[in-house]
């Protein structure tokens, strides 16, 4: 099998997994669990929606640079408590790989902002995908730039980090805090949260909801991530320095319990006894995306407490 067909096969496998799990559907054996969410379309809003009441929300435009140092606009969605902009604690929010276009992701921003945070979600896929919610995930993309290719298999992490930094700059220019900064990520964004927190000492605290710990292609293409450390590698190197919280369900095919347990051991071996990984029983991948799940509320509360305990308060 040549390398391209290996990539394509891995992409198709990930597409199938994403379709089943991205919006909170449990693993194949989750039928025995006390709650099973109905299937929804990619990025659809799950009722009840979080209202904008009490918040100031809207689409904003970030000023970022591309690989040739040319300025280009990238959109972001941001919310903060109305009338409480000055020195507000700032959270970068990064969702699953389809990005800002998904209504469910904007709903998550509002839900977090209601907890007294300025939350900004830069649209990381926008550099290559105008509307990732409507584009094919895998190699069926006629232009050769599928979402899986650009956001999972071969992500340009330097570009992503520039866009995230642009989000922080925008928040500071609006009047929010330039020092009280955290990051929250879900699914692929949870993986980004691990990586950005490890590499940016300005991040006081990071939270990963269901973020993949080991490479999605680790088995299919063992050498693909040789030069791209995974969250597991970063934990072994002790780079989180007590700032990272990982929240998972025990029924998550994208972050199996075996991976989670390895992450716990890696933190200890890296000398980090303060970062924490929590596993919630009978919970699937949508631990934050679907708040009808009985474990979602306590997981969300644990995340909010973690962030505030690390100085993200007014």
Question: Does pTM top 0.75 for this prediction?
Answer: yes
Predicted pLDDT at 140:
55
Half-sphere exposure of 125 (CA within 13 A, CB side): 27
How crowded is residue 188: how many other Cβ atoms within 10 Å of its Cβ? Answer: 28
Instruction: Select from 182, 236, 238, 184 the least CA-distant residue to 211.
Output: 184
Predicted pLDDT at 179:
98
Predicted pLDDT at 290:
78
Residues listed for the chain:
314
Q: Return the axis-axis angle of helices 188-199 and 157-174, rounded to nearest 10°.
A: 80
Half-sphere exposure of 289 (CA within 13 A, CB side): 36
Predicted pLDDT at 215:
65
Predicted pLDDT at 68:
63
Measured over the CA atoms of residue 238, residue 244, residue 245 and residue 247, the dihedral's sign is negative
DSSP 273: S
The C-alpha atoms of residue 308 and residue 314 are separated, in whole angstroms, by 9
What is the DSSP annotation of 6-34? HHHHHHHHHHHHHHHHTTS---TTGGGSS
Predicted pLDDT at 303:
98
Q: Which domains does the chain have, with CATH numbers?
A: 3-38+58-309 (3.40.50.1820)
Predicted pLDDT at 13:
35
The C-alpha atoms of residue 52 and residue 97 are separated, in whole angstroms, by 24
SS3 annotation, 193-229 = HHHHHHHCCCEEEEEEECCCCCCCCCCCCCCCCCCCC
The C-alpha atoms of residue 93 and residue 88 are separated, in whole angstroms, by 15
Predicted pLDDT at 157:
80
Residue-by-residue pLDDT tens, the chain, 314 positions: 333 333 333 333 333 333 333 333 332 233 333 334 333 456 788 777 899 999 999 999 998 876 666 667 889 999 999 999 999 999 999 998 878 888 999 999 999 999 999 999 999 887 777 676 777 666 555 556 677 767 766 677 878 898 999 999 999 999 999 999 999 999 989 999 999 999 999 999 999 999 999 864 443 444 444 446 889 999 999 999 999 999 999 999 889 999 999 999 999 999 999 999 999 998 888 788 777 888 899 999 999 999 999 999 99
């Amino acid at each position: 099998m040549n390398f391209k067909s290996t990539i394509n096969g891995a992409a198709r496998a990930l597409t199938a997994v994403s379709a089943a799990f991205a919006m909170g559907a449990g693993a194949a054996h989750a039928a025995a669990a006390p709650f099973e969410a109905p299937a929804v379309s990619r990025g659809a809003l799950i009722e009840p929606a979080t209202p904008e009441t009490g918040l100031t929300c809207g689409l904003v435009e970030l000023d970022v640079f591309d690989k040739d140092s040319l300025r280009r606009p990238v959109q972001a969605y941001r919310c903060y408590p109305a009338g409480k902009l000055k020195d507000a604690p700032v959270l970068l929010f990064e969702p699953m790989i389809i990005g800002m276009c998904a209504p469910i992701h904007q709903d998550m921003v509002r839900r977090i902002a209601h907890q007294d945070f300025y939350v900004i979600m830069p649209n990381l896929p926008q550099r290559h995908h105008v509307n990732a919610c409507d584009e094919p995930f895998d190699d069926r993309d006629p232009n050769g730039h599928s979402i899986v290719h650009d956001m999972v298999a071969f992500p340009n992490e330097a570009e992503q980090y520039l866009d995230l930094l642009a989000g922080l700059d925008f928040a500071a220019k609006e009047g929010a805090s330039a020092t009280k900064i955290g990051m929250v990520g879900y699914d692929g964004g949870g993986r980004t949260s691990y990586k950005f927190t490890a590499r940016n000492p300005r991040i006081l605290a990071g939270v990963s909801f269901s973020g993949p710990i080991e490479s999605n292609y680790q088995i299919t293409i063992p050498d693909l991530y040789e030069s791209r450390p995974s969250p597991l590698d970063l934990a072994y190197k002790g780079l989180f320095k007590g700032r990272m919280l990982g929240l998972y369900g025990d029924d998550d095919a994208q972050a199996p319990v075996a991976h989670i347990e390895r992450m716990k051991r890696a933190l200890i071996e890296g000398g980090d006894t303060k970062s924490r990984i929590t596993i919630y029983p009978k919970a699937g991948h949508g631990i934050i995306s679907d708040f009808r799940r009985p474990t979602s509320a306590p997981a969300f509360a644990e995340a909010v407490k973690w962030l505030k305990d690390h100085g993200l308060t007014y």
